[in-house]
Amino acid sequence: MFDNFVVPNLLPAAPEIFLVIMALAILLIDLTVKDSRRTVTFVLTQLTLIGCAAIQFATSTGEIGYTFSNMFVDDLMSDLLKLFLYMTVIIVLFYSRGYVIDRAAMNKGEYYVLALFATLGMMVMISANHFVTIYIGLELLSLSLYAMVAMNRDSVVSTEAAMKYFVLGALASGLLLYGMSMIYGATGTLEITAIAERLYSGGVNRTVMVFGLVFLVAGLAFKLGVVPFHMWIPDVYHGAPTSVTLFIGSAPKLAAFAIVMRLLVNGLITLAQDWQSMLIILSVLSMAIGNLAAIAQTNFKRMLAYSAISHMGFMLLGIVTGVVGGDARYALNAYSSAMFYVIAYVLMSAGTFGMILMMSRAGFEADELEDLKGLNKRSPWFAGVMLMLMFSMAGVPFFIGFFAKFSVLQAVVAAGYIWLAIVAVLFSLIGAFYYLRVVKLMYFDAPADETPLSAGMDMRILISANGLAVAFLGLFPQVIMSLCAYALLRSL
């Protein structure tokens, strides 16, 4: 029965295997620990992520390698995205630490274990070369996040947010699976590279493929949270505990970018003209509705949810302009600009939510715009950090957000979509209003509470480093830009 069984090469998946073993070990160790602050669990979780990064670095060959019957791919794009993923989750858990300790309902070992399993789901998504692998990674991430959103069981708002997130996720999974089944029906394979080969050689029913593609793009749009599939995203951001909103608003964007690249660029590049026209509509709608709706918000988390919708719309512009009329000359520039944009957004988003967490305390969520009033009087340094983050989000020179927007616009213009670049700039200008409103509240309004901000030394150092990184990488964006371009050059 097992005569033909070939032992797969486990080396490309070594970080995933290490993370699974450690997550299960932490779950058991946590049962024996009596410390109410969960220090051992927290430290072990962070060491696990550092260990994953070390293994990722040590096992990276720079070549494209497949394992598990070509279901799992290890290339430079996956290596780079995973290293940024570990870094993001480490930062997110550091930011969340004080918030979680202050709330008994969330101060459980399961919080950290769920974060690890969500990370595992994202790692699987980033390295997926098969529809089944993508689905497994997606569901592992989604189920972990539903549980994290609902962890504060005493909160009606959190429970409602978890139910809405679950319904959204179910819709997205259903659409993705239906699209995948149609593509399987047309090509006879679920492997992404094999689908690309079948499409290239011809003889595939194009009508069925395009139908499948429509459902696939709709499912991806749900996962990215772009218009018109964004319905409950602001409710989820608002209702989830702020530490979980921080998690949702940062790391999963890296995995979402990876599956868009794997499915549309690696697998369905032959149908580029079909999916590009769909993504243009999603992108323009997201930038329009995301930016306009954000202006009307009084809750900071809801404002950042609409901001995320507009940013994901902007990121899609890079994916859209890779292939123009069958000509792929601009592909590397366009896709690397989109990758740079996602990394920049994750860095800015983590810092912004980190500031909300630092201002929150037991029994008080600092998630209203009013809570930022007079922050400069309470803490001039952290008001300055928030200023850098808001300027970067708005795309003010010379922060990383400006160069992220600039690189995408450059790719759009190079591809000949001048009108699209003009639309993107107009909506970015509209978007600048609600970011600058935050600056106005911090510097020109009187504080309701003049108590100085108090936070642990680790939190203060990390937030400061996050804000300075946004400024420093704005002055030297070439570091990450060239990393993205090199990783994609060796992976596509």
Q: Tell me the whole-structure pTM to 2 decimals.
A: 0.94
Mean pLDDT for all residues in the chain: 90
Q: pLDDT digits over 226-277, tens only?
A: 888 888 899 999 999 999 999 999 999 999 999 999 999 988 888 888 899 9
Nearest to 368 by CA among 456, 297, 282: 297
Tell me how far apart the terminal alpha carbons of the chain are, to the nearest angstrom. 38
Radius of gyration of the chain (CA): 22
Q: What is the pLDDT of residue 152?
A: 84
The residue among 383, 372, 379 whose CA lies nearest residue 448 is 372
CA dist., res. 387 & res. 393, Å (int): 10
Cβ atoms of 458 and 42 within 8 Å: the answer is: no
Helix or strand run (H / E) with residue 405: helix 400-414
Q: Per-residue pLDDT for 483 more than 70?
A: yes
Return the pLDDT at 362.
62
Report residue 22's pLDDT band, with 50, 70 and 90 as the boundaries: very high
Distance CA 70, CA 192 (A): 9
Q: What is the pLDDT of residues 355-380, one digit of tens each?
A: 999 888 766 777 888 888 888 888 88
Task: Convert the pLDDT of each residue in 302-321 to its tens digit.
Answer: 999 999 999 999 999 999 88
Domain segments of the chain: what residues? 11-489
Of 54-68, 75-89, 226-240, the range with the highest mean pLDDT is 75-89
Q: Give pLDDT, residue 363.
A: 63
The pLDDT score that the predictor gives to residue 326 is 66
